């Protein structure tokens, strides 16, 4: 670590306390970003293969221009009339199926999920929530309680039932049936406990569970079971939304329209914006008992930013790019897997891939030590990736990534795998 990095790490610990975490054995001190590239304080360049928040690329000129233009004109909230929030709502809803007729704005994914859970409870009269075993849905009391990945530090909230994540798609496994069986068991337990179901909330790409989105349509039977029991389906699109998987929304990969859709991270390409889209009937029930207002949700500046992000995704054809480059990336990793035994599985869709690292491909035993060595080894060679679980590497570059960028990643991944100590 350089002296300035050491000083910053110590200063952070002194000022921010013990709860924040840094990536990498040698933390990275970034000072600038552009497109898919990041620079540290010494001028070293990193290929960003991890960050989905700057979905249109770091510091996209149109996003910066919309932000500065709006900020230098007016910044106020939804209790005054203004077109910006309506232009955003119109553009956003136009990307969704017609059943999703309304949208409310927040400043984060946590806030969007918190609101969705409250709307689900109000609309169903239930309190039971189903979430997957390693799900993360946010940091409010309600969403942290519905984020089993935080256990045991944060115990499940009242009425939260954790279910096993979907299994990896392999020959002979009916992924939809296996996943739905876990959901039905949770519904059965709720009935025994006298808890009325409110919702199943799933990250539509199951990112913190290890990245599961195949085969197409597997979520259907689980959602059907929840609906039959009186609950609703909340599609958490904070990770897969805004084009990440090569289509606009992750739920499109499942062929099911959620009752509530939550958004965040990429929505403002780095500016704090979130949202919850809803079937109007659900909001009617919520609206009978509650007003909704969030000071910053839907403010004029954030609305302008979120709108231009949608425009850039459309104008630069980033969905098609995510699909095409995602296929190239996946094929490249699969080719590397022929020579590198630790690559146990490549999963995902578009530009969101999970690479499982294993000790032995037949036994599929997870190898957390090699996973950490690969993530840190890539960082030392100028490529940033992160972990989804202890043995799944998350590869998730900004959407405008090009083939020559991916070639750099694949060469560096190859070199990093080759440098792993022989076991």
Q: Which of 50, 105, 136, 413 binds ligand PMP (CB under 6 A)?
A: 136
Measuring CA to CA, which residue among 310, 302, 321 is closest to residue 397? 321
Min dist CB 110 to ligand PMP, Å, is 3
Q: Are residues 206 and 392 in contact, defined by beta-carbon separation less than 8 angstroms?
A: no
Angle at 107 between CA 102 and CA 109, to 5 degrees: 80
Q: Which of 108, 252, 253, 416 binds ligand PMP (CB under 6 A)?
A: 108
Q: Which of 138, 241, 246, 350 binds ligand PMP (CB under 6 A)?
A: 138
CA distance 354 to 88: 32
Q: Residue-wise over 216-241: b if at least 16 C-beta within 10 A, else e?
A: eebbebbbebbeebebbbbbbbbbbb
Q: Are residues 317 and 402 in contact, defined by beta-carbon separation less than 8 angstroms?
A: no
CA distance 207 to 292: 30
Q: Which x/- pattern, by CB under 6 A, does the window 62-101 give for ligand PMP?
A: ----------------------------------------
Q: Kindly indicate which of the ranges 132-140, 164-172, 336-344, 391-399 contains the residues binding ligand PMP, using the contact rule CB under 6 A.
A: 132-140
Tracing tokens 């929840």 back to the chain, one arrives at: 226
Q: Kindly indicate which of the ranges 82-90, 137-145, 253-261, 367-375 contains the residues binding ligand PMP, using the contact rule CB under 6 A.
A: 137-145
Q: Does 146 bind ligand PMP (CB under 6 A)?
A: no
Q: Which of residues 109 and 126 has its CB atom nearest to ligand PMP in the complex?
A: 109
Q: Which of residues 203 and 345 has its CB atom nearest to ligand PMP in the complex?
A: 203
Q: Does 236 bind ligand PMP (CB under 6 A)?
A: yes
Q: Which of residues 238 and 370 has its CB atom nearest to ligand PMP in the complex?
A: 238
Total number of residues that touch ligand PMP (CB under 6 A): 14
Q: Which of 115, 122, 132, 137 binds ligand PMP (CB under 6 A)?
A: 137
DSSP states of 231-261 as a string?
-EEEEE-TTTTTTTTSSS-GGGGTT---SEE
Distances (CA, A) of 201 to 32, 94, 273, 366: 36, 23, 20, 27
Q: Which of residues 265 and 396 has its CB atom nearest to ligand PMP in the complex?
A: 265
Measuring CA to CA, which residue among 407, 403, 366 is closest to residue 388? 366
Closest CB to ligand PMP belongs to which residue?
109
Q: Which of residues 267 and 308 has its CB atom nearest to ligand PMP in the complex?
A: 267
Min dist CB 365 to ligand PMP, Å, is 27
Look at strands 197-203 and 128-132 and give their pairing.
parallel
Q: Which of 264, 297, 344, 397 binds ligand PMP (CB under 6 A)?
A: 264
Q: Are residues 59 and 38 in contact, defined by beta-carbon separation less than 8 angstroms?
A: no
Q: Which of 109, 165, 210, 366 binds ligand PMP (CB under 6 A)?
A: 109
Q: Which of 134, 239, 252, 325 binds ligand PMP (CB under 6 A)?
A: 239
Distances (CA, A) of 237 to 52, 336, 342: 12, 30, 30
Greatest Cα pair distance, the chain, in angstroms, is 65
Window 176-215: residues binding ligand PMP (CB under 6 A): 203
Q: Taking the mean position of all CA atoms in its chain, how far away is CA 187? A: 26
CA distance 367 to 19: 26
Q: Which of residues 120 and 336 has its CB atom nearest to ligand PMP in the complex?
A: 120
Q: Kindly indicate which of the ranges 40-48, 92-100, 103-111, 341-349 contains the residues binding ligand PMP, using the contact rule CB under 6 A.
A: 103-111
Window 370-399: residues binding ligand PMP (CB under 6 A): none
Contact residues for ligand PMP, defined by CB under 6 A: 108-110, 113, 136-139, 203, 236, 238-239, 264-265
């Amino acid at each position: 670590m350089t002296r300035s990095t050491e000083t910053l790490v110590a200063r952070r610990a002194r000022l921010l306390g013990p709860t924040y975490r840094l990536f990498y054995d040698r933390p990275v001190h970034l000072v600038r970003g552009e497109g898919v590239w990041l620079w540290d304080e010494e001028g070293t360049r990193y290929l960003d293969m991890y960050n989905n928040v700057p979905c249109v690329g770091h510091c996209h000129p149109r996003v910066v221009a919309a932000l500065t233009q709006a900020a230098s004109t007016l910044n106020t909230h939804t209790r005054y009339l203004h077109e910006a929030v309506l232009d955003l709502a119109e553009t956003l809803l136009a990307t969704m199926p017609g059943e999703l007729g309304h949208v409310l704005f927040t400043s984060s994914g946590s806030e969007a999920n918190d609101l969705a859970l409250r709307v689900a409870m109000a609309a169903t009269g239930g309190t039971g929530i189903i979430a997957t075993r390693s799900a993360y849905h946010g940091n409010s009391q309600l969403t942290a309680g519905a984020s089993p990945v935080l256990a045991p530090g944060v115990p499940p909230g009242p009425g939260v039932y954790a279910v096993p994540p979907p299994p990896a798609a392999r020959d002979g496994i009916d992924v939809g049936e296996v996943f739905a069986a876990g959901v039905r068991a949770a519904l059965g337990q709720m009935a025994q406990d006298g808890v009325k179901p409110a919702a199943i909330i799933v990250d539509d790409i199951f990112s913190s569970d290890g990245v599961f989105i195949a085969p197409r349509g597997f979520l259907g039977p689980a959602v059907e079971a929840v609906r039959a029991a009186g609950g609703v389906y909340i599609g958490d699109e904070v990770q897969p939304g805004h084009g990440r998987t090569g289509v606009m929304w992750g739920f499109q990969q499942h062929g099911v329209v959620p009752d509530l859709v939550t958004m965040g991270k990429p929505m403002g390409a780095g500016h704090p914006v979130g949202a919850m889209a809803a079937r109007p009937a659900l909001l009617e029930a919520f609206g009978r008992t509650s007003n909704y207002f969030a000071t910053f949700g839907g403010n004029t500046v954030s609305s302008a930013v979120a709108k231009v992000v949608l425009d850039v995704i459309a104008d630069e054809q980033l969905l098609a790019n995510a699909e095409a480059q995602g296929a190239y990336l996946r094929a490249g990793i699969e080719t590397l897997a022929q020579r590198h035994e630790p690559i146990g599985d490549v999963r995902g869709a578009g530009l969101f891939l999970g690479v499982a690292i294993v000790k032995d491909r037949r036994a599929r035993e997870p190898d957390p030590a090699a996973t950490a060595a690969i993530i840190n080894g890539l960082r030392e060679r100028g490529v940033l990736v992160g972990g989804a679980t202890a043995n799944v590497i998350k590869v998730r570059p900004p959407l405008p990534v090009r083939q020559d960028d991916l070639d750099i990643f694949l060469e560096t991944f190859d070199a990093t795998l080759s440098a792993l100590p022989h076991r």
